[in-house]
Amino acid sequence: MRAIWKGAIAFGLVNVPVKVYSATEDHDIGLHQVHNADGGRIRYQRRCEVCGEIVDYSDIDKAYEEDGRTVILTKDELKSIPAESSHEIEVVQFVPSEQLDPIMFEKSYYLEPDSKSPKAYVLLRRALEDTDRVAVVQFALREKTRLGALRIRDDVLVLQSLLWADEVREAAFPALETTVRITAQEREMSAALVDSMAGDFEPGQFTDDYQVQLRKLIDAKIEQGESLDTEQTFGAEAAEAGSGEVIDLMEALKRSLEKKRGGGSADAAQADDAGKAPAKASRSAASGRSAASKGAGAKTTAARSTASKATASKATASKAPAKTAGKAAATEPAAKEPAKSRRKGA
């Protein structure tokens, strides 16, 4: 067991340090909701109804609403309440155990001594045993001030949280107010029936039949192959939902470990091919740039040849038009520009 809380019992001037453990646990088989068409897990999101955004848990505060007005209470404001931050279990009264109505009992906790010497713990336990009484205490746990009863179970102090008086509802049923006549024979027969079913209560004799049958049903479906491989079936969906980074990381680590051990599986080979793909793409891109560069060089050579012919024509012709000379002059710088680019790329 793991302690859920630490504190101290204030027994007059005696301080008893203790660790608090949950004394009970739920034995129900955990079930979750899925889509009946494909078995996909149903997830719930904390979405703000005002802005429509999904809100992180760290950005959520508590609030009280009344008559159309909402009062927001921050975490720091709630922690500032003295009763909530107290780690003291204060003994306020010792009462006979029969005065505590079982309807008031809520949840039970084991208390373990949390000091080098358990003397103070044993002293309080002996006091309860000798007086045959229960200690009524007040304490704060999980953001609530609580009422509790301190008693003994198998030499261990047990703290049972109690409902407050105004939390127990009154049973007022009109049907019970009518007068009902029961004969002496009916009472005798009912008493005889009780005697025939009388016995000592042994909790271990009773089982939760529903949970037993549910477990058998689950095991039978697994044996018949009626189950889904959650990791393979929902891996892609989880990745799209935003959790794929974790799955991909775990898979990459697994494949890397297999490769180091020389286990070279087909999956690892596929992973290697996937890793080589970017390199191939880079080489293809480089080849494309090289081909483009060569094409530009060819165009430059052709342009220079044209310019040379234009110049020769200008020298031999008796009347060269001004427009032809201007065109040749404009062609020369344009032809040289790709060559400069090629030299820079080289």
**Residues 161 and 273 reside in one and the same domain:** no
Per-residue pLDDT, 197: 94
User: The domain that contains 83 carries what CATH number?
Assistant: 2.40.290.10
Q: Within a domain: residue 200?
A: no
Among the three residues 165, 198, 216, which one is the final residue of a domain in this structure?
A: 165
C-alpha atoms less than 13 angstroms from C-alpha of 144 in its C-beta half-sphere: 8
High-pLDDT (> 70) share of the chain, %: 66
Choice between 168 and 261, residue whose per-residue pLDDT is larger: 168
Q: Are residues 140 and 14 in the same domain?
A: yes
For the cut 80, the answer to whether the pLDDT of residue 100 exceeds it is yes
Residues 148-160, mean pLDDT to the nearest whole number: 95
Query: Is residue 325, in this structure, part of any structural domain at all?
Result: yes
DSSP percent split of the chain into helix, strand, coil, nearest 5: 50, 20, 30
Q: 43, 31 in Cβ contact below 8 A? A: no
Q: Which residues of 30-57 are buried (b: 16+ CB within 10 A; e: fewer)?
A: eeeeeeeeeebeeeeeeeeeeeeeeeee
Residues 133 and 17 in one domain: yes
Q: Count structural domains, the chain.
A: 2
Q: What amino acid is encoded at 237 in this protein? A: E
Q: How confident is the model at residue 13 (pLDDT cuts 50, 70, 90)?
A: confident
- Quote the pLDDT of residue 228: 83
From 128, 149, 165, the end of a domain falls on: 165
Segment holding 183, helix H or strand E? none
Specify the pTM.
0.60
In a domain, 67, yes or no: yes
103 burial (CB, 10 Å; 0-12 / 13-18 / 19+) is exposed
Contacts for 6 with CB less than 8 Å, ≥ 6 apart: 17, 18, 19, 20, 87, 114
The β-bridge partners of 224 are none
Q: What percent of the chain has pLDDT over 90?
A: 51
Which position has the token pair 């297999």? Answer: 258
Whole-number Å distance between alpha carbons of 307 and 311? 6
Please enumerate in sequence order all residues whose Cβ is within 8 A of that of 195, keeping only pairs 6 or more positions apart, or say none.
none
Determine which of 241-245, 249-253, 254-258 has the lowest per-residue pLDDT on average: 241-245
pLDDT band at 20 (very low <50, low <70, confident <90, very high): very high
Query: Which of 206, 116, 121 is closest to 159 using CA atoms?
Result: 121
Is 232 within a domain?
no
Q: Which of 72-86, 121-135, 137-151 has the lowest mean pLDDT?
A: 72-86
Distance spanning both ends of the chain, measured CA to CA: 71
Please check whether residue 311 lies inside any domain of the structure: yes
Residues 129 and 49: beta-carbon distance below 8 Å? no
Structural domain harbouring 319? 269-345
- Distance in angstroms (rounded) separating the CA atoms of residues 187 and 180: 13
At which of 165, 189, 208 does a domain end? 165
